[in-house]
Structure 1
Amino acid sequence: MEWRVRAIRGATTVSENSIEAIAEAVTELLDELETRNHLKPEQIISTTFTATRDLDATFPAAIARQRPQWDNVPLLDVQQMHVPGSLERCIRFLVHVNLPASQTEVHHPYLRGAKDLRPDWSLAPAKSGLSSVSIPHRDSC
């Protein structure tokens, strides 16, 4: 398979608005991204993070930049549009990468409370070795 530009979505929720809780959630999310997609930081073109308005203790990109080899990845943080009734304390990302994988082989990590946003893309944690959940799409998040 030839290398192609791919877009990977993902999201997680944070237990509280603190630097520690945001760092834990972002680290877990990026660990899943790298593990599930056999991704190396040098394959990442750019990453955009969104955070809901109730998360302002730190920037998700600041946490990502501390990861090994992520210091040269272009990163951006933006505030997620607020919609009444939407998931709170949520961090999402859109990552553009170069991968030798088809779009259907790309894994989109939706963790913690964010699993309900895209149950069709939700996976058991990589360390468990379980396969993906196959549930019909119901959210365009």
Structure 2
Amino acid sequence: MMRGIRGAITVSADHPDEILKETKKLVLEMAKENDVEPDQVASVVISTTTDISSAFPAKAVRTIDNWTYVPVMCTHEMDVHGSMPLCIRVMMHANTEKSQQEINHIYMNEAVKLRPDLIKDSKVDI
């Protein structure tokens, strides 16, 4: 079964090093918390708010060991007035035996505010 695994993280500024570091941190945590290996990942779609433009977050994923051939694509999120700034969102499509309810969606930094209903206490990083 293929499942979608959601994740989001914020950065403090539109700085390439921070964008790459935080994206890598988020993707690794998403994979770890869902027992997903790179060969199980069909694709990863990453969106950023329009105030992030100094680096492609997909570059971070390609630098992770054994993730070189995972298809990754970046896009910008809708620019909705009042939405959370400096936010990177990830949708990972992975083959897993887990049910929808067993999937651990990961929200870090200020992004924990996006889906408090999905946050599990052990994964909160404020």
1:18 partner letter: H
Deviation string 1:86-120 (CA, Å, 9 cap, x unpaired) is 00000001111100111111100011111000001
Give matches, 1:1-141, under 5 Å: 4-124=1-121, 130=122
Alpha carbon RMSD of aligned pairs, Å? 1.3
- Gaps of at least 5 residues in structure 1 are 125-129, 133-141
Determine which structure has greater relative contact order: mean sequence separation of CA pairs < 8 Å that are 6+ residues apart, divided by chain length. 2
Contact 1:111–1:122 (8 Å) recurs in 2: no
Q: Which has the larger radius of gyration?
A: 1
Distance 2:5 2:67 in 1: 16
Deviation string 1:57-98 (CA, Å, 9 cap, x unpaired) is 111111111111111111100011100100000000111110
TM-score normalized by structure 2? 0.93
TM-score normalized by structure 1? 0.84
State, as a whole percentage, how many aligned pairs show the same letter. 35
CA shift, 1:123, in A, is: 3.3
Deviating 4+ runs (over 6 angstroms): none
Q: Name the structure where helix makes up a greater proportion of residues.
A: 2
Distance 1:123 1:62 in 2: 28
Aligned residue pairs, count: 124
